[in-house]
């Protein structure tokens, strides 16, 4: 019974505006304002001033085609570039994100998994809880 209700709910929602891009929570004007402010205050140079560090702030996951990540003060979605400097996004799950890192010295790629509020420090090849400044 629960499965039927869930299935019916998903079918109903599939055609609704809840799947509207880019946000489930904000109006189009609010989203535009947020994006405008992000572009003004968080240029790529500022977002990556801690080169070699990858900080995963949060994951919002609905399914494999509908998710958002906050990584180094940038928002990543399925339709945005999957590379951040020398890091590449490999996979997103509801609780973790798998990345790979290509060292500049040509050595093999390193693969690692981050959970929300964790930082990968490439120099030491280690994961820590919180933000490393």
- Condensed to tens digits (0 to 9), the pLDDT of residues 45-102 reads 444 444 689 999 999 999 988 999 999 888 899 988 888 878 899 999 999 999 998 8
Average per-residue pLDDT for the chain: 77
Backbone φ, ψ for residue 100 (5° rounding): -125, 155
pTM of the model: 0.60
**Sheet strands side by side (includes 83-84):** 83-84, 87-92, 97-101, 110-114
Question: How much is the pLDDT for 102?
Answer: 83
Helix ranges restricted to H, the chain: 2-14, 28-41, 44-47
Question: How much is the pLDDT for 4?
Answer: 66
Question: How much is the pLDDT for 109?
Answer: 87
Helix ranges restricted to H, 20-84: 28-41, 44-47
């Amino acid at each position: 019974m629960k499965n039927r209700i869930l299935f019916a709910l998903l079918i109903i929602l599939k055609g609704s505006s809840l799947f509207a891009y880019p946000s489930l929570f904000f109006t189009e004007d609010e989203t535009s304002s947020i994006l405008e402010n992000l572009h003004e205050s968080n240029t790529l140079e500022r977002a990556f001033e801690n080169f070699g560090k990858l900080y995963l702030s949060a994951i919002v996951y609905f399914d494999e085609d509908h998710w958002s990540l906050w990584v180094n003060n940038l928002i990543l979605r399925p339709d945005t570039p999957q590379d951040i400097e020398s890091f590449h996004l490999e996979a997103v799950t509801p609780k973790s994100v798998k990345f790979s890192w290509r060292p500049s010295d040509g050595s093999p790629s390193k693969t690692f998994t981050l959970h929300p509020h964790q930082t990968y420090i490439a120099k030491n090849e280690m994961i820590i809880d919180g933000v490393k400044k």
